[in-house]
Amino acid sequence: MQNLILKCENLHKNFRKKEILKGVSLEISNGDILGFIGPNGAGKTTTIKLILGLQKINSGKVEINGFDIKTNFEKAIAKVGAIIENPDLYMYMSGLDNLKLIANLYPSVTDKRILEVIKLVGLENRINDKVSKYSLGMRQRLGVAQAILHKPNLLILDEPTNGLDPEGIKDLRNLLIKLSKEENMGILISSHNLAELESFCNKVCIIKNGIIVETSDIDTVKKEASEGNYIIELDDAKRARLIIGDISIAKDNTHILVHAIKEDIPNIVKKLVLQDIQIYSITEEIISLEDAFLKKTGGNVID
């Protein structure tokens, strides 16, 4: 059973006379991995800072595990782990000593929990090495280890894949999936790497100019963005386009993209067949999260 962990309701934030957030609302339940995406300057980092109590909310409400971040900060933030941009690590110390230092902040964190977290993030073989010898991906995993020492049920990551190589991104992806399933965490992840988010997030929240333009599961967002588009495989795309007209686009010599309602497809097929066009298959277009994002945001424009 899913329980609501984070609820942001109608958040507004102004810097001087400029309104940065204009009524942002979003929710995360345990086990969710929510991809928070938007153009540069859209309000992602500002939203995250409001959630964490790092900036003052002008109006609206943030509740974490039922506690208001403004009126009951300590209880609201008690089960939250976060990394904003890069994790703060002492490079001259070992990974283990870094974790022990953070563990001192939480009376409930035992040596057993430290060992559990080390295993969870896959650093058993390198935990006694100095952090200066770690790859960027290993440092990111150590940062996540620090953030989850106290067993939070909400993990917030702001651009965690920045600078990571493909192997580092894969390791982080697998770790986040593991945390959502085994630790039953809710995870909010802000990133520009949409192809990567698509591979492991189950929900997406798109923000543009301080306004949420879409919040849904990823499959629904992609389906809505591609609704009414069909790929027809045939023997002569150029001639098929001349027959159908402006509702079609030739993708290559043997495929056309047709924009039409489902009920019109049989008539389009009939028209092509009567003109001796050989049809081999018809499928609904499946677009990427990146393409869906560009459609929803009007091409990544910031006003």
User: How far apart (Å, rounded) are the C-alpha atoms in residues 39 and 211?
Assistant: 12
Question: Strand pairing of 59-64 and 67-68?
Answer: antiparallel
Residues 96 and 137 in one domain: yes
Who contacts 242 (Cβ-Cβ below 8 Å, separation ≥6)? Answer: none
Residues 79 and 190 in one domain: yes
Mean pLDDT of 162-181: 85
Who contacts 269 (Cβ-Cβ below 8 Å, separation ≥6)? Answer: 232, 279, 282
Q: The CATH number of the domain where 235 resides is what?
A: 3.30.70
Question: What is the pLDDT, as a whole number, of residue 224?
Answer: 66
Residues 160 and 279 in one domain: no
Question: What is the pLDDT, as a whole number, of residue 145?
Answer: 93
Among candidate residues 156, 133, 126, 153, the one with its CA nearest the CA of residue 144: 156
Reported as a pLDDT band with limits 50, 70 and 90, residue 303 is very low
Q: The CATH number of the domain where 150 resides is what?
A: 3.40.50.300
Question: What is the pLDDT, as a whole number, of residue 168?
Answer: 81
Residue 69 included in any domain:
yes
The model's pLDDT over 109-165, given as tens digits with 9 standing for 90+, comes to 999 999 999 998 889 999 999 999 999 889 989 999 999 999 999 999 988 877 778
Residues 154 and 22 in one domain: yes
Residue 240 included in any domain:
yes
Residues 86 and 28 in one domain: yes
Residue 296 included in any domain:
no
Mean pLDDT of 268-279: 88
The DSSP 8-state label assigned to residue 52 in this structure reads T
- Does the pTM surpass 0.75? The reply is yes
Which of 108-122, 163-177, 283-297 is the least confident region? 283-297
Among candidate residues 132, 149, 48, the one with its CA nearest the CA of residue 89: 132
Residue 269 included in any domain:
yes
Count: domains in the chain: 2
- Structural domain span for residue 279: 229-284
The distance from CA 32 to its chain's CA centroid, rounded to whole angstroms, is 10
- Percentage of the chain with pLDDT > 70? 92
Question: What is the pLDDT, as a whole number, of residue 75?
Answer: 94
Residues 279 and 180 in one domain: no
Residue 79 included in any domain:
yes
DSSP assignments along 234-302, one per residue: ES-HHHHHHHH-TTEEEEETTEEEEE--GGGHHHHHHHHHHTT--EEEEEE----HHHHHHHHHTTT--
Residues 190 and 233 in one domain: no
Residues 265 and 172 in one domain: no
Mean pLDDT of 232-254: 84
* Residue of 87 and 223 predicted with greater confidence: 87
Residues 99 and 124 in one domain: yes
User: Where a domain ends, among 223, 242, 263?
Assistant: 223
* Residue of 145 and 264 predicted with greater confidence: 145
The model's pLDDT over 5-51, given as tens digits with 9 standing for 90+, comes to 999 999 999 988 888 999 999 999 999 999 998 888 888 999 999 99
Residues 183 and 59 in one domain: yes
Residues 218 and 233 in one domain: no
